[in-house]
Amino acid sequence: MTFDHQQITELVYTYALGVDTRNWALYRSIFAGVVAIDFTSYSGGQAFAVHADAWLDRVKPVFTGLAATQHSMTNPLVSIDGDRAMCTMYMQAFHVLEPSSITPTTDENSFTIGGYYTDTFVRSEDRWLVNGVALTVLWRRGNESIMAIAAQRGASLLTTAENHA
Write out pLDDT tens, residues 96-139.
998 776 555 567 889 999 999 999 999 998 899 999 999 999 99
- Average pLDDT of span 84-99: 94
What mean pLDDT, rounded, does the chain reach? Answer: 93
Residue 104's pLDDT is what?
55
Task: Compute the distance between CA of residue 118 and CA of residue 84 in angstroms, rounded to an integer.
Answer: 13
Checking if the pLDDT of 1 tops 90, the result is no
CB 64 within 8 Å of CB 32: no
Residue 139's pLDDT is what?
98
Residues paired with residue 89 on neighbouring β-strands, in sequence order: 117
Residues paired with residue 74 on neighbouring β-strands, in sequence order: 90
147 closest CA partner among 100, 109, 99? 109
Q: What is the side-by-side order of every strand in the sheet holding 48-51?
A: 48-51, 31-38, 127-142, 110-124, 84-96, 68-81
**pLDDT per residue over 141-151, tens digit each?**
999 999 999 99
Task: Compute the distance between CA of residue 142 and CA of residue 117 in angstroms, rounded to an integer.
Answer: 21
